Amino acid sequence: MNPKRCAACKYLRRKCPKDCIFSPYFPPSDPHKFACIHRIYGAGNVSKMLQQLPVQTRAEAVESLSFEAKCRVDDPVYGCVGIISLLQTQIQKTQTLLAKTQAEIAVAQTKHSQHTNL
């Protein structure tokens, strides 16, 4: 076993070629990252996606795929859409609370100014 094989090649039980498309993005120290991506998208599809992208955008694409795959593994029905929905709900509740608090402050300031004018 070659200890320098990337996590993808280890997972796929193959030799890691020098020009491995996965090697820069899946270090041997993080095998779970590739396992999630492979489970959701498949190694062949990920390889094709990476080959179609410019080299400078591949790392960001891998991080995005990794996040989306992890979310899909954690929540097979909604995936990252579930997280987005939860965050949107929290934003709406916080905005409502903020508006209520601002209204209470305005009322308190009005009462205070009326009492000082008397």
Give tens-digit pLDDT for 15-28: 999 999 999 999 99
User: Is residue 6 predicted with pLDDT exceeding 60?
Assistant: yes
d(CA 33, CA 37): 7
Work out the burial of residue 44: count CB atoms within 10 Å of its CB; fewer than 13 is exposed, 13-18 middle, 19 or more buried: exposed
Q: Which pTM was predicted?
A: 0.74
Rounded Cα gap, residues 37 and 63, in angstroms: 10
Token pair listed for 38: 């492979």
The domain ranges of the chain are 1-74, 77-117
Distance (Å, rounded) from C-alpha 46 to C-alpha 118?
73
